[in-house]
Chain A
Amino acid sequence: MEWMITADEPGKTYLMQGNEAVARGALEAGIRFAAAYPGSPSSEILTMLGHVADKMEMYAEWSTNETCALEACLGASFARVRSLCVMKQNGLLVVGDALHSASLSGVKGGLVMIVADDPSAHSSTNEFDSRHQAKSAALPMLEPANIQEAKDMVKWGYELSEQLQQLVMVRTVTRINHGRSTVTLGQMLAEKPNPVTIGEWDRMVAINWFKDAQIAKLDQAQEIFEESPFNWYKGPEAPEIIIITCGTGWLYSSEAVEALGLNEKVGILKIGTTYPLPEKFIVKHLLNTNKVLVVEEVDPFLEQNIAGIIAYHPELNIELLGRCGQKTLPRNGELNPDIVRNILASLTGKVFTGPEVAVIPPEEATPLPARELTFCAGCPHRASFFLLKQTLRIHEGQGVVMGDIGCYTMGGQRAGHYLYNFLCCMGGGINAAEGMGQLTRFGFKQPVLALAGDSTFFHSCIPGLVNAKYHDSNMLFVVLDNSATAMTGFQPHPGIGLTAMGKAAEPISIQKVAEAIGCQVTVADPFDISGTTEIVYKLLKQPGLKVLILKQECATLAVRKRKKPRVWVDQDLCRGDECGCGRFCSRIWGCPGNIWDYEAGRAKIDEVVCVGCGVCASLCPAGAIKIEGGGADE
Chain B
Amino acid sequence: MPGGMELKNDVFVSSVCALCGACLDWCPYIANIEDHLVMRFDCYVADGRCYSVCPRTFTDWQAISDRYLPDTPKNIEIGPYYKVYKVKASQGINGQQDGGTVSNLVKTVMEDELAETVLLTGTDDHITPEPFLVENPGDIEKAAGSRFLASPGLRKIIEAQEKKVQKLAVVGRPCQIQALRKLGYNQSNEKPPMEVISIGLFCMWSLGWDFKEYLAKEFPGEKVLRMGIPQHGFVVTTDKGEHNLPLDEVKRYIKPGCSYCLDMTSELADISVGAFEAEEGWNTVIVRSQKGQELFSKAVDKGYLICEDYPEDELNRLKGASIGKKNRNLENIQAAFDKGVKPFIDLNSEMYVKVKKMAEGMVK
Cβ–Cβ contact B26 & A393, under 8 A: no
Cβ–Cβ contact B43 & A394, under 8 A: no
Interface residues of B in 1-39 (CB under 8 A from A): 3, 26-29, 31-34, 36, 38-39
Given that A580-B28, A621-B27 are contacting pairs, would A389 and B40 also be in contact in the complex, using a CB cutoff of 8 Å? yes
Cβ–Cβ contact B38 & A393, under 8 A: yes
Cβ–Cβ contact A396 & B28, under 8 A: no
Binds A, one of B45-53, B77-85, B265-273, B338-346: B45-53
Cβ–Cβ contact B43 & A533, under 8 A: no
B34, B41, B43: which contacts A390 (Cβ < 8 A)?
Answer: B41
| Assembled-state Cα–Cα distance A472/B235 (Å) | 38
Q: Does A395 contact B (CB under 8 A)?
A: yes
Cβ–Cβ contact A393 & B33, under 8 A: no
- Specify which chain A residues have a CB less than 8 angstroms from the CB of B44 in the assembled complex: 582
Cβ–Cβ contact A579 & B28, under 8 A: no
- Specify which chain A residues have a CB less than 8 angstroms from the CB of B43 in the assembled complex: 582
Write out, one digit per residue, whether chain A residues 362-390 have a CB within 8 A of any chain B CB (1) or not (0).
00000000000000000000000000011
Cβ–Cβ contact A580 & B36, under 8 A: no
Cβ–Cβ contact B48 & A579, under 8 A: yes
- Specify which chain B residues have a CB less than 8 angstroms from the CB of A396 in the assembled complex: 36, 38
- Specify which chain A residues have a CB less than 8 angstroms from the CB of B26 in the assembled complex: 579-580, 621
A394, A578, A581, A619: which contacts B32 (Cβ < 8 A)?
Answer: A394
Among B31, B39, B47, B50, residue most surrounded by chain A Cβ atoms (within 10 Å)? B31
Write out, one digit per residue, whether chain A residues 569-593 have a CB within 8 A of any chain B CB (1) or not (0).
0000000011111101000100000
- Specify which chain B residues have a CB less than 8 angstroms from the CB of A395 in the assembled complex: 33, 36
| Assembled-state Cα–Cα distance A533/B41 (Å) | 14
A534, A581, A588, A620: which contacts B33 (Cβ < 8 A)?
Answer: A534
A391, A533, A619: which contacts B28 (Cβ < 8 A)?
Answer: A619
Q: How far is the CB of A394 from chain B (nearest CB, A)?
A: 5
Q: How far is the CB of B151 from chain A (nearest CB, A)?
A: 15
Q: How far is the CB of A288 from chain B (nearest CB, A)?
A: 65
Cβ–Cβ contact A621 & B33, under 8 A: no
| Assembled-state Cα–Cα distance A621/B29 (Å) | 9
- Specify which chain B residues have a CB less than 8 angstroms from the CB of A578 in the assembled complex: 45
Among A390, A533, A534, residue most surrounded by chain B Cβ atoms (within 10 Å)? A390
* CB-based nearest B residue for A619: B28
| Assembled-state Cα–Cα distance A533/B45 (Å) | 25
- Specify which chain A residues have a CB less than 8 angstroms from the CB of B27 in the assembled complex: 579-580, 621
Given that A417-B41, A579-B47, A588-B41 are contacting pairs, would A393 and B31 also be in contact in the complex, using a CB cutoff of 8 Å? yes
| Assembled-state Cα–Cα distance A534/B33 (Å) | 8
B28, B38, B50: which contacts A394 (Cβ < 8 A)?
Answer: B38
Among B3, B33, B47, B49, residue most surrounded by chain A Cβ atoms (within 10 Å)? B33
Cβ–Cβ contact A390 & B28, under 8 A: no
* CB-based nearest A residue for B48: A579
Cβ–Cβ contact B36 & A579, under 8 A: no
Q: Does A59 contact B (CB under 8 A)?
A: no
| Assembled-state Cα–Cα distance A389/B48 (Å) | 23
- Specify which chain B residues have a CB less than 8 angstroms from the CB of A620 in the assembled complex: 28
| Assembled-state Cα–Cα distance A395/B187 (Å) | 31
| Assembled-state Cα–Cα distance A621/B49 (Å) | 14
Cβ–Cβ contact B36 & A582, under 8 A: no
Cβ–Cβ contact A533 & B3, under 8 A: no
- Specify which chain A residues have a CB less than 8 angstroms from the CB of B36 in the assembled complex: 394-396
A390, A534, A577, A621: which contacts B40 (Cβ < 8 A)?
Answer: A390
Cβ–Cβ contact A393 & B40, under 8 A: yes
Given that A395-B36, A582-B43 are contacting pairs, would A621 and B31 also be in contact in the complex, using a CB cutoff of 8 Å? no
* CB-based nearest B residue for A396: B36
* CB-based nearest A residue for B37: A394
- Specify which chain B residues have a CB less than 8 angstroms from the CB of A281 in the assembled complex: none
Among B41, B43, B44, B49, residue most surrounded by chain A Cβ atoms (within 10 Å)? B41
Q: Does A422 contact B (CB under 8 A)?
A: no
* CB-based nearest A residue for B213: A541
- Specify which chain B residues have a CB less than 8 angstroms from the CB of A394 in the assembled complex: 31-33, 36, 38, 40
A393, A537, A577, A580: which contacts B39 (Cβ < 8 A)?
Answer: A393
Q: How far is the CB of A576 from chain B (nearest CB, A)?
A: 11
Interface residues of A in 509-546 (CB under 8 A from B): 533-534, 537
Write out, one digit per residue, whether chain A residues 78-107 have a CB within 8 A of any chain B CB (1) or not (0).
000000000000000000000000000000
Interface residues of A in 327-342 (CB under 8 A from B): none
- Specify which chain B residues have a CB less than 8 angstroms from the CB of A537 in the assembled complex: 33-34
Interface residues of A in 607-634 (CB under 8 A from B): 619-621
- Specify which chain A residues have a CB less than 8 angstroms from the CB of B28 in the assembled complex: 580-581, 584, 588, 619-621
| Assembled-state Cα–Cα distance A620/B32 (Å) | 16
* CB-based nearest B residue for A533: B33
| Assembled-state Cα–Cα distance A334/B17 (Å) | 53
| Assembled-state Cα–Cα distance A621/B41 (Å) | 14
Q: How far is the CB of A301 from chain B (nearest CB, A)?
A: 46
Cβ–Cβ contact A390 & B31, under 8 A: yes
- Specify which chain A residues have a CB less than 8 angstroms from the CB of B40 in the assembled complex: 389-390, 393-394
| Assembled-state Cα–Cα distance A30/B346 (Å) | 88
| Assembled-state Cα–Cα distance A577/B31 (Å) | 19
| Assembled-state Cα–Cα distance A579/B39 (Å) | 14
A417, A533, A534, A584: which contacts B29 (Cβ < 8 A)?
Answer: A584
- Specify which chain A residues have a CB less than 8 angstroms from the CB of B48 in the assembled complex: 579
Q: How far is the CB of B144 from chain A (nearest CB, A)?
A: 27
Interface residues of A in 381-432 (CB under 8 A from B): 389-391, 393-396, 417
- Specify which chain A residues have a CB less than 8 angstroms from the CB of B34 in the assembled complex: 537
Among B27, B40, B44, residue most surrounded by chain A Cβ atoms (within 10 Å)? B40
- Specify which chain B residues have a CB less than 8 angstroms from the CB of A533 in the assembled complex: 33
Q: How far is the CB of A233 from chain B (nearest CB, A)?
A: 61
A389, A391, A580: which contacts B49 (Cβ < 8 A)?
Answer: A580
| Assembled-state Cα–Cα distance A395/B37 (Å) | 9
* CB-based nearest A residue for B162: A623
* CB-based nearest B residue for A584: B28
B31, B32, B33, B45: which contacts A579 (Cβ < 8 A)?
Answer: B45
Q: How far is the CB of A334 from chain B (nearest CB, A)?
A: 36
Cβ–Cβ contact B3 & A579, under 8 A: yes
Interface residues of B in 43-72 (CB under 8 A from A): 43-45, 47-50
Q: How far is the CB of A319 from chain B (nearest CB, A)?
A: 56
| Assembled-state Cα–Cα distance A581/B44 (Å) | 10
Among A390, A580, A581, residue most surrounded by chain B Cβ atoms (within 10 Å)? A580
| Assembled-state Cα–Cα distance A417/B39 (Å) | 14
Q: How far is the CB of A418 from chain B (nearest CB, A)?
A: 11
Q: How far is the CB of B190 from chain A (nearest CB, A)?
A: 11
* CB-based nearest A residue for B47: A579
Q: How far is the CB of B124 from chain A (nearest CB, A)?
A: 15
Q: How far is the CB of B287 from chain A (nearest CB, A)?
A: 36
Write out, one digit per residue, whether chain B residues 209-241 have a CB within 8 A of any chain A CB (1) or not (0).
000000000000000000000000000000000
| Assembled-state Cα–Cα distance A391/B41 (Å) | 11
- Specify which chain B residues have a CB less than 8 angstroms from the CB of A577 in the assembled complex: 45
Q: How far is the CB of A596 from chain B (nearest CB, A)?
A: 14
Write out, one digit per residue, whether chain A residues 350-361 have a CB within 8 A of any chain B CB (1) or not (0).
000000000000
| Assembled-state Cα–Cα distance A620/B28 (Å) | 8
Q: How far is the CB of A98 from chain B (nearest CB, A)?
A: 45
| Assembled-state Cα–Cα distance A623/B62 (Å) | 38
* CB-based nearest B residue for A622: B28
* CB-based nearest A residue for B26: A580
Cβ–Cβ contact B29 & A582, under 8 A: yes
Q: How far is the CB of A263 from chain B (nearest CB, A)?
A: 60
3 interchain residue pairs of minimum CB distance: A390-B40, A621-B28, A582-B45
What are 13 contact pairs spanning A and B, CB under 8 A? A390-B40, A393-B38, A394-B33, A395-B36, A417-B41, A537-B33, A537-B34, A579-B45, A581-B28, A582-B44, A582-B45, A584-B29, A588-B28
Q: What is the interface of chain A, defined by CB distance below 8 A to chain B?
A: 389-391, 393-396, 417, 533-534, 537, 577-582, 584, 588, 619-621
- Seed contacts A394-B31, A577-B45, A580-B26; 19 additional CB < 8 Å A-B pairs: A390-B40, A393-B31, A393-B40, A394-B40, A396-B36, A533-B33, A537-B34, A579-B3, A579-B47, A580-B27, A580-B28, A580-B49, A581-B28, A582-B43, A582-B44, A619-B28, A620-B28, A621-B26, A621-B28
